[in-house]
Amino acid sequence: MHSITVLKFNRIYRPAKHRLARKDWAAGRLILLTGVLIGLSACGGTVAIRDYFPDPVVAPLPYQVGVYYSPEFSSYRYHNEEDKVNFELGSKQVRLFDKVFAAMFTSRTAVSDPDSGQAQQQLDLILVPVLDEYAFLSPAETATNFYTVSIKYHIRVYSADNQIIGYWPFVAYGKNRSGSMSGLEPLGDATVTALRDAAAALVTQFRRAVETEDWRLPGESKQETS
Amino acid sequence: MPVILTSRSASRITGFLLIALLASGCVTTRVEQFVIDAPLIAAGESVVLLSNRQDAVVETEDSFLDCLYGRLKGMKGSVQIISEDQFKDELFPWFESRLAPTRAESVGILLEQPHIKSKADALGVRYLVWIHGESDATNKQGSMSCSFSPAGGGCFGMLSWDNNSSYEATIWDLKDSKSLGIISSQSTGTSVMPALIVPIPIIARTKGASCRGLGDQLVTVLSGES
């Protein structure tokens, strides 16, 4: 949030010629102040992330799945005091995962937390996506012209009787060229690219894992998918 | 607060802006093409422009793709040019960086999946044109210093740098799943910015020259126009 400072100038009577000059200077100062404010706003702030994701083109697997999004996942907000970067990611990733799961399986329904022990309806699997880490590197940090984003997820897979049967980690990447005057918009675009990369990982690698039940159990070490 | 400009200062500013807009450095462009017997595209077929985003170092600028898209849009006849965003959305997520085919033969394998093939057929896509390359500035020389005070200000000095733009377009035929050839365009030029109170940028617009060179050759190959 920006604070607004109201500048007051004492009125001094001067002959017409000087009044004109003073007006020019005041206008010049105002333009300079505006420029400084715009410049400062480009150093940090809120990142706009588009929340449009197309429907994935994929043949559905014959599974009825339940999906649970924890409050930490669905309302995740990235906030970095040092970078002064602040944006909401939770609703965007819920929208993406919802679209992907809806396309990947014959049916997808929202369920309650499987760890709560509540009985679930007749399902083949229950999926719980978890965001482990969101990170980005600015062009200054990589000495390139790009913002690069990585999002670390894992999917917890439960049986219909709420027993955890699998754990599938993966990392999604995105990058976008930075513009000289575009502020944090390229970071938002790099984040969208990373979310779309997550969709690509889900419809291919996670789908294969579901078909072959190639999970690992929590705590087991296995190279992460990237 | 209104800024009062005298007619003399207004004409000075207008003159400066005209010089800045019109002044551009010399650019040399070399285009390498391949020769075909007949135009590739037939009525009702579509061409897709895509950038190769799998290269970790080089990524084609969106502005270059927009420029090329504009030039191909100007082709005569009923050829439809599909933008990268539209195509990637229609076939989401199969042309995201993680999954995009790297060889023409791989497209044939991808199109063996009926749900993907039906989407591509609905778009009428016959050719994919992969664009790869970027523009950069090297060999920066000279110095410039600017100072401002209540009495006025200005800049003094001279800067120069080399602009290089190197792009290539690889055309894939989706019907036969094969690569038809590569058209490349390389433009070089030197930009200078002398400053005597006011800096006057004389920019070598190599990216625009490469866009024109590559765009014209693509139009010739695709539609037979020259």
Tell me the residues of chain B between 106 and 165 that have a Cβ less than 8 Å away from chain A: 113-116, 119, 150
- Cβ neighbours for B54, distance < 8 A, ≥ 6 positions apart: B97, B100, B102
Cα separation, A10 vs A186, in Å, equals 43
CB contact under 8 Å between A57 and B91, yes or no, is yes
Q: Could you give the count of Cα atoms lying within 13 Å of B193 in the half-sphere of its Cβ? A: 18
pLDDT at B189: 95
What does the pLDDT average to over A79-105? 93
Q: How many helices (H) and strands (E) does chain B have?
A: 6, 6
Q: What is the DSSP letter of B77?
A: S
Top pLDDT among B178 and A69 is at A69
What does the pLDDT average to over A77-88? 88
- Cβ neighbours for B62, distance < 8 A, ≥ 6 positions apart: A177
pLDDT at A53: 95
Query: Looking at the predicted structure, is the pLDDT value of residue A3 above 50?
Result: no
Cβ–Cβ pairs < 8 A, chains A and B: 60
- The answer to whether the peptide bond before residue B93 is cis (omega within 30 degrees of 0) is yes
Are A206 and B93 in contact, with CB atoms under 8 Å apart? no
| Nearest alpha carbon to residue A222 among A199, A205, A197 | A205
pTM check: above 0.95: no
Q: What is the DSSP letter of A116?
A: G
Burial class (CB in 10 A: 0-12, 13-18, 19+), A74: middle
Q: Phi/psi of residue A190, each to 5°?
A: -65, -35
Are A146 and A176 in contact, with CB atoms under 8 Å apart? yes
Query: Looking at the predicted structure, is the pLDDT value of residue A135 above 60?
Result: yes
- Cβ neighbours for A207, distance < 8 A, ≥ 6 positions apart: A58, A61, A104
Region of poorest pLDDT, from A25-29, A168-172, B87-91, B112-116:
A25-29
Determine the residue among B92, B113, B135, B207 to mutate to test chain A binding: the one whose Cβ has the most chain A Cβ atoms within 10 Å: B92
pLDDT at A15: 38
What does the pLDDT average to over B43-67? 87
Determine the residue among A33, A57, A58 to mutate to test chain B binding: the one whose Cβ has the most chain B Cβ atoms within 10 Å: A57
Long-range contacts of A93-99 (CB under 8 A, 24+ apart): A93/A129, A93/A131, A93/A195, A93/A198, A94/A69, A95/A51, A95/A53, A96/A53, A96/A195, A96/A196, A96/A198, A96/A199, A97/A67, A97/A69, A97/A129, A97/A202, A98/A67, A99/A53, A99/A54, A99/A55, A99/A56, A99/A199
CB contact under 8 Å between A200 and B93, yes or no, is yes
What does the pLDDT average to over B167-180? 92
pLDDT at A4: 35
Cα separation, A223 vs B203, in Å, equals 49
pLDDT at A38: 43
Query: Looking at the predicted structure, is the pLDDT value of residue A183 above 90?
Result: no
Top pLDDT among A103 and A83 is at A103
Is 0.95 exceeded by the ipTM? no
CB contact under 8 Å between B3 and A57, yes or no, is no
Strand, helix or coil for residue A137: strand
Region of poorest pLDDT, from A1-10, A82-91, B135-144, B194-203:
A1-10
Region of poorest pLDDT, from A114-128, A209-223, B167-181:
A209-223
Are A104 and A203 in contact, with CB atoms under 8 Å apart? yes
pLDDT at A80: 85
Q: At which residue do the structure tokens 């999002």 appear?
A: A151
C-alpha dist (Å) from residue B152 to A62, A67, B13, B58: 75, 66, 16, 43
Scored b (16 or more CB within 10 A) or e, B120-134 reads beeeebbbbbbbbbb
pLDDT at A21: 47
pLDDT at B54: 75
pLDDT at A219: 61
pLDDT at A180: 63
pLDDT at A99: 96
Burial class (CB in 10 A: 0-12, 13-18, 19+), A99: middle
pLDDT-derived band at B32 (thresholds 50, 70, 90) equals confident
Q: How far is B95 from chain A (nearest CA, A)?
A: 9
Query: Looking at the predicted structure, is the pLDDT value of residue A8 above 60?
Result: no
